[in-house]
Amino acid sequence: MNMIAPESQAEMLTLLEHAVAAHANVVQVKVAGDQAVVEILATGSVVASREMPLARCNDLLRGAFSLCDESDDYQYNTSRSARMTGLKSALPKGLTMVFLQFFPARDGQRHLVARLTYDSDTCCGTCGG
């Protein structure tokens, strides 16, 4: 098992803090050539965006998965789903769960989709929450 850098976990938690501040419902990572584009979306509109080298995205996604409740043997660039409920690290205030879907890197496609659930949200049951 590879070691997860605490910086990549902190970076994911910071992304979630920014998303909560915008009351966003999705944080996604999309692939654009050799870059990863991290976007925070609120009701379908991008409210914040930044780029990072695709090679660095490995650390971010592995760090995000390591914060999930039952993280085990995630391998970067594979499809997986997981939930983050704060069991391993406290979520930003007001956030009750993050449902994450990881996908292999494909140009023009989503690489990570993180759906946010707030204290005041009503769960529809589709994410298992």
Q: How far is CA 100 from CA 24, 34, 125, in A?
A: 15, 22, 15
Strand 110-118: give its sheet, edge to edge: 45-53, 35-42, 26-32, 110-118, 95-102, 80-84
Q: How many CB atoms lie within 10 A of CB 64?
A: 28
DSSP label of 25: S
Instruction: Give the Cα separation of 32 and 94 in Å (integer).
Output: 32
Q: Average pLDDT by consecutive 10-residue portion of the chain (129 residues)?
A: 73 95 95 95 93 92 91 83 94 95 95 94 51
pLDDT confidence of residue 129: 46
Half-sphere exposure of 10 toward its Cβ, with a 13 Å CA cutoff? 3
pLDDT confidence of residue 1: 44
Strands (E), 1-42: 26-32, 35-42
**pTM for the whole thing?**
0.86
